[in-house]
Structure 1
């Protein structure tokens, strides 16, 4: 399924709570940015969404004017902007690179929130512009260089709520990756070898956006922090042991990032229930696999092997899994690899309902389940990889 030619913010589904809505917003805004032909067209919908879903009255994206980064200029904006001489000067000349806010964003590389700009040194200069509260998120290159910043503001002091902060942080962190891609496209379209350079940037942007989506999903369903990155790292080590080719490794990684994206469609009452699910609730929970396929497919660029990880990672080697009851080689190798890594990390991570298992206990459980839940060959390879790592790591 291809990307819609003209994605709309009205495509967003209203969630049952702020975390659901924020995560769904990220998914749709990612589609919009990936389909956009230019940076302003890619980022303006994000700014509009922030203004319509928070107390912010206006929002803008500022970007470094050139490689010297002497000033950051407005590239996209929406809502009400301050009507002051200072703002007029910024519109003409940009935010100076030495502004305390920009220095703080580059140093911290994470969103910042100011309930009252007059009370914080890092927001110095904004009260004079007429901006009384401010939220700012950096857009950085891979080496941490500040490329640009998302800002949203109010004209009165405002205490940013936890829900507003979650939305801004989740949306900005994901779309920031795509902003980098759009900027790179602008820089390469006039250069020799532009097509090849753009292709590489586009793949890198998709990679960064999918990882950010995965991290956003961790927040949505209360997953242990770092689960996505840990499972991906384990899966890639197994992929290397099996000699998977580069395109297969990429598909495995992308599928791992989005393996639980279908949980966006699961009600909180089921997803976050502290106790055991009843039969009806379990049936609803299992629907996250088919919903995951539907949502991931709307992105328009995931290979079939990545979709297979999403749809098959709850299948079992003995045929007792869901949703289709696939067995043995009917399950893709990527999904079989991911399933082992996913369960291992779940066992060795502390959860509200259980203590973390030791590595030895988790490996023993995987070996018990070899031939039942898991591919025996994948389990053997996994044990060998972790054993080799343990031997190589000094006590």
Structure 2
């Protein structure tokens, strides 16, 4: 979600802080919350660029989450964006004990800013961001491509914004950690369900990844992609209630067994309903991924756009992966055979727009495989 533009009339630092706080408290993620804050740093100080780096516990490195303005270019900057600020960097070590913003008027003259002249950065600010317990969670950096004496106003501005960033980071960092824990738990549950149905090994991760790429192509936002993943992990949770004799039946099911198998959708929805944190669109994937565009699916016979988009996306990916995977009762179809089936079912079983986008994603995958083969 793009950052909301700042008001056209200049605001006092106090009013600006209030405005940024309001934006931050409604932001869906850390990057979205930080973008308008970084814009202010660039607009109200001599900094030409600014970035927020989040500290990752596992690696003790700072990874870029948001940026504004003109950033350094070149291989060294590419490595920093890919791998983060390493723990051995003097600035990182200085941030661990810093109680306020650090100002470097000339990075060539100060040991704590070693490494930044290699990026073409010759003046730098670095503010440690801590949560309410005083634990370091990130760093707010801004830079100039020439030596610069940071003014009292710039120091005051950064100090004020640092407090605001700490507030936002504490909230959003905690929320992201909670969401990461939910994601891990849901994936583990999906893999557990998959283990019961041994013939679908790897299906959960494959179809979730494919649905994510398709969702991106269709313009889903970050939160929408997360909901799609969560629904994908749990799409067959209702099969927990299906007897093994039906779940592991080696061939086509008779009418009675098929009806019992189809009940896994409602049973899955009931089980997922016990997860209070699960978003509505994740529930939609569980409940509607067996609906068909022409209304011939189940459990409710929904048709067209009455079928939620996440369910339409997942259904196409689910069928493609099922077709190209071996089962005791069938061989794995080739990519070409599976694509031919999707094209045939385009506009009947599946949403034509979704299928067209999926075919484009699959073409990219095949092109990548061809490049590796070359």
The TM-score range, normalised by the shorter chain, is: 0.5 to 0.7
Q: Deviations over 1:4-51 (max 9, x none)?
A: xxxxxxxxxxxxxxxxxxxxxxxxxxxxxxxxxxxxxxxxxxxxxxxx
Structure 2 matches for 1:264-343, cutoff 5 A? Answer: 264-343=240-319
Aligned to 2:62: none
CA distance in 2, matches of 1:287, 1:188: 47
Among residues 185, 191, 206, which one is paired with 2:134 in the alignment?
191
Using the size of structure 1 for normalisation, the TM-score is: 0.51
Q: In 1, distance between residues paired with 2:302 and 2:224?
A: 21
Q: How many residues align?
A: 211
Q: TM-score, normalization: structure 2?
A: 0.54
2:176 counterpart residue number:
200
The reply to whether residue 260 of structure 1 matches residue 236 of structure 2 is: yes
Q: Which has the higher contact order (CA 8 A, sep 6+)?
A: 1
Question: Rg bigger for which structure?
Answer: 2
Q: SS of the residue aligned with 1:360? A: helix
Look up the match of 2:202: 226
Unmatched tracts of structure 2, length 5 or more: 1-56, 59-129, 136-165
Change (3 A) 1:365 1:240: same
1:345 to 321, 329, 350: 321
Stretches of structure 1 lacking an aligned partner (at least 5 in a row): 1-65, 68-186
SS across alignment from 1:374: coil
Report the counterpart of residue 82 of structure 2 in structure 1.
Answer: none
> Does structure 1 residue 373 correspond to structure 2 residue 349?
yes
Partner Cα separation in structure 2 for residue 248 and residue 386 of structure 1:
21
Q: Report the Cα distance in structure 2 between the residues aligned to 1:284 and 1:189, rounded to whole angstroms.
A: 52
- Does 2:220 align with 1:244? yes
Secondary structure (helix, strand or coil) at the match of 1:320 reads coil
Contact in 2 for aligned 1:293/1:311 (Cα 8 Å): yes
Structure 1 stretches of 4+ with a deviation exceeding 6 A read none
1:103-160 per-position Cα deviation (integer Å, ceiling 9, x unaligned): xxxxxxxxxxxxxxxxxxxxxxxxxxxxxxxxxxxxxxxxxxxxxxxxxxxxxxxxxx
